[in-house]
Amino acid sequence: MRWTKLATIVIGIGICGGFALVAAQNAEPSATPAPVELACSLDDLQAQQAALAATLATFEQDAAEDPGAALDALFKTGAAYQELALACGYIPADAATRAVGTDVERILRALDTVSGDPLNGQLLYNGALACASCHEVGGGTVAPHTAGTYTRVEETRLADPLLADYSIEQYLVESIVQPGSYVVPNYTNVMPNLFGDSLTLQELADLVAFLESQDGPSPE
Ligand code: HEC
């Protein structure tokens, strides 16, 4: 009898411990980056890595002659290495909270690792980012309407041969981080070209999720 009781307690503790462990694991942000596939060829990666290494070949001598310039080169080479890893598909563990930048292909890969919250997207759109100041105010004269964006992109924009092979998500992302790449007919390119430097991946995912919820006809 006593043993059964003890066993129950031990199992109980084991289960609770298991839950606590799972909870703790869920609470901790993942330290390891998401698994990725090389987005550039290994040969290419090695060639570029060798080119970067060459920029520091004379570092010792440069540092003796002009320490400032040598450290500057070291710093820039470090940044270039990070750029190379990102361009080849690396998604850092803190990707969701960094500025997304303007490389649409890279952003689309990273977007696969987060899920967008359309309600937060709507809050940002109408509030802090003031997208609505152009896309709502002015009744479609300053900028295309918010309502119907998804359907308009699918049926009208993507039918433009200039956007052949674009996906809806790709078009939306490009419209936000590179507003000048494709200027919607009958509008001028007044949309600020700064969102890539300020939006995080999560914010962009939220905005895209909000815009994807805007289906149906556009207002007249
Ligand atoms: C200063 C005005 C202005 C602001 C602010 C602005 N936009 Fe725009 N946006 C435009 C204009 C004008 C166009 C159409 C011309 C073009 O393609 O650049 C446009 C185009 C777009 C398109 C393509 C719409 C379509 O029908 O094809 C999307 C998507 C978009 N903007 C999203 C946003 C988001 C998201 C924000 C906020 C983060 C934002 N815009 C902020 C003016 C603005």
- 32, amino acid identity: T
Taking residues 44-51, what's their average pLDDT?
91
In short, whether 191's Cβ falls inside 6 Å of ligand 1 is: yes
Shortest-distance Cα residue to atom 1 of ligand 1: 191
Write the CA distances from 118 to 12, 125, 208, integer angstroms: 41, 10, 8
pLDDT score of 93 more than 60 = yes
Cβ–ligand 1 distance for 129 under 6 Å, the answer: yes
Give tens-digit pLDDT for 131-181: 999 999 888 899 999 999 999 999 999 999 999 999 999 999 999 999 999
CA distances from 109 to 25, 90, 112, 131 (A): 25, 10, 6, 24
Q: Is the pLDDT of residue 94 over 60?
A: yes
Ligand 1 lined by 183 (C-beta under 6 Å):
yes
In the chain, the amino acid numbered 84 is: L
Query: What is the best residue among 135, 169, 201, 210 to mutate for testing ligand 1's pocket, by most ligand atoms within 8 Å of CB?
Result: 135
Q: Does the beta carbon of 190 lie inside 6 Å of ligand 1?
A: yes
Q: How many CA atoms lie within 13 A of 7 on its CB side?
A: 4
Would residue 21 be called left, alpha or beta, if left means φ above 0 and alpha means ψ between -120 and 50 degrees? alpha
Q: Confidence band (pLDDT; 50, 70, 90) for 34?
A: low
Count of all residues that appear for the chain in the document:
220
CB of residue 157 inside a 6 A radius of ligand 1: yes
Over 70: is that where the pLDDT of 81 sits?
yes
- pLDDT on residue 193: 96
- With a 6 Å cutoff on the Cβ, whether 189 touches ligand 1 is yes
CA of 141 to the centre of ligand 1 (A): 12
Say how far apart CA 9 and CA 43 lie, in whole Å: 58
